[in-house]
Amino acid sequence: MTTLMIVESPSKAKKIGQMLGRDYRVVASVGHVRDLPPKSMGVAPPDFRPEYEPTDSGKKALSKLRKEMKGCDKILLATDPDREGESIAWHLKEALRLPEKKIARVTYNSVTESAVKDAIKNAGKINMRLVAAQEARRVLDRLVGYTLSFPLSDAIGDRASAGRVQTPTLIILAERDRAIKNFKPTKHFTATLTTESGFDADWITKPYVTEDKPYVLDRSLAEKAASARSIIVDEYAQKKVARKPPAPFTTSVMQQAASSTLSMSSKDCMNAAQKLFENGLITYHRTDSTHLEPDAVKAIREVLKEKGLPIPDKPPTHKSKAGAQEAHEAIRPTDPTNSNPTGSLGSNERRLYDLIHKHTLASQMANKIERVTTIKAHAEIDGQRFDYQAKATEVLEKGYTALTGRGKDDEPVVTLPKIEKGEAIAVGEGRVIDVPGRHARP
């Protein structure tokens, strides 16, 4: 009895084939096999039913799959666990005319032997809601793109395209560019006092600004605030603040982190993530969930214990954004003990894996605990009240920053002296701060 499993990529097919053995044939569809016709709308009122046809690559893939189907008793549609993957599974069923009793939908969040075999045991049906969601997006792309692109090209006398996503995005960029070009720099002022007790207190400008004019533009007012020779303490407060570790990566947060820390474009990031997923090193990389499976959390905590890193009594929980699919996991290493994967990985894959590995471990570490000290004071100058504030943060427990590197031992520790309410503090120097216009709001 032979079972045919259809996945999306050839490299994934090869890896899974090695896991499952001789009773399985594992082949790749190489992505979408059908789409709307490239030279006509392919969808029309009143029912807007899409007219699909095989793509050029899809014709070759379908021909190969028909040959592979021969002699197979069961066909597993194991495309990716997202809208596009669900759609590809449905298109394979329709294009190959597969009977319902002969097929099963298989989804797994990581290309590991245990995950794949468990997915096969729990095979189900195609989720037609996800198929409909993908189809709606595709039809909207076509209706907007084909309806607007040709008139737009005619209007500007050059080839141009419009789309469901790119057109509103272009509007946002154009409006922002216009705001930048029309921005008039506004120089504004604030003030800082250096007390003889050794700390700085910043002038609180809030009473002197409005929503329409959010900055102090009168330098003489700032000079008066800086002229205080003594301030009276109104409040001395200390509190402990717990900073939670970062949530495990979703797709968008991973892309942002790769850009800011690795200088990696979104495209390069997703290409690297795709290779890591296909090599069984990370869970599926298209997700908006911050959920981690209990077994994964347990494995991560064991790694943290071995490394001597701080972990809380109970694993941290991270709330996913509204609408996130909790059945999916966040992006994490499939094996948290593996900090340096072997195999033929490029530089981008290794750097991204290291980022994902470190971020995942940090997500399950203890809170960073800080002691925040605040001093609020005032001065009366020519019958006018000016308020000031000094704030200092001292790290009491590094928590997750012991791994991420923020909160190092060599960072200067800033503290404020204990001062009683009503106490007068002598001022050694007052300074007017000229804030360049580029910091003003456009």
Is the pLDDT assigned to residue 185 strictly greater than 90?
no
The whole-number pLDDT of residue 410 equals 46
Q: What are phi and psi of 27, to 5 degrees?
A: -130, 165
Is the pLDDT assigned to residue 407 strictly greater than 90?
no
Sign of CA dihedral 269, 274, 276, 282: positive
Which of 284, 353, 388, 400 is labelled catalytic?
Answer: 284
Sheet with 72-77, strands from edge to edge, namely: 24-28, 2-7, 72-77, 103-105
Q: Please tell me the CATH code under which domain 2-134 is placed.
A: 3.40.50.140
Is the pLDDT assigned to residue 399 strictly greater than 60?
yes
- C-alpha 283/C-alpha 287 separation (Å) is 10
Q: Any catalytic annotation for residue 208?
A: no
The residue to which tokens 């298209």 are assigned: 286
Domains in the chain: boundaries: 2-134, 188-241+369-395+412-439, 251-363
Following DSSP, what letter does each residue of 349-393 receive, concatenated?
HHHHHHHHHHHHHHHTSPPEEEEEEEEEEEEEETTEEEEEEEEEE
3-class state of residue 58 by DSSP? helix
The whole-number pLDDT of residue 408 equals 47
Taking CA atoms, 212 is separated from 183, 208, 216, 441, 442, in Å, by 15, 12, 12, 11, 12
Pairing mode of beta strands 200-203, 384-397: antiparallel
The whole-number pLDDT of residue 211 equals 87
Residue 322 pLDDT grade (very low, low, confident, very high; cuts 50, 70, 90): low
Q: Which two tokens stand for residue 375?
A: 């001093």
- C-alpha 370/C-alpha 360 separation (Å) is 22
Is the pLDDT assigned to residue 326 strictly greater than 80?
no
User: If you count them, how many residues does the chain have?
Assistant: 442
* Long-range CB contacts for residues 371-374, cutoff 8 Å, separation at least 24: 371/238, 371/239, 371/240, 371/241, 371/396, 372/238, 372/239, 372/240, 372/241, 373/236, 373/237, 373/238, 373/415, 373/416, 374/235, 374/236, 374/237, 374/238
Contact 312, 109 (CB under 8 A): no
Q: What is the mean pLDDT of residues 103-109?
A: 95
Q: Which CATH architecture has domain 251-363?
A: Orthogonal Bundle (1.10)
In this prediction the pTM is 0.83
Q: 246-277, pLDDT tens digit by residue? A: 999 999 999 999 999 999 999 999 999 999 99
User: Which element (helix H / strand E) includes 189?
Assistant: strand 188-195
Tell me the pLDDT of the chain averaged across its residues: 92
Q: What is the mean pLDDT of residues 387-403?
A: 95
Q: 12-36, pLDDT tens digit by residue? A: 999 999 999 899 999 999 989 999 9
Q: What is the mean pLDDT of residues 279-290?
A: 94
Q: Is the peptide bond before 46 cis (omega within 30 degrees of 0)?
A: yes
Contact 204, 231 (CB under 8 A): no
Q: Report the b/e string of 15-44 with b at 16+ CB within 10 A.
A: bbbebbeeebbbbbbbbbbbbbeeeeebbe
The whole-number pLDDT of residue 439 equals 44
3-class state of residue 221 by DSSP? helix
- Mapping DSSP onto H, E and C, the string for 154-177 reads HHHCCCCCCCCCHHHHHHHHHHHH
User: Which element (helix H / strand E) includes 185?
Assistant: none
Sign of CA dihedral 178, 182, 184, 185: positive
Q: What is the mean pLDDT of residues 70-76?
A: 93
Domain 188-241+369-395+412-439 matching CATH 3.40.630.30: the answer reads: no
- C-alpha 167/C-alpha 261 separation (Å) is 30
Q: Which two tokens stand for residue 325?
A: 């699919």
The whole-number pLDDT of residue 412 equals 60
Q: What are phi and psi of 439, to 5 degrees?
A: -90, -5
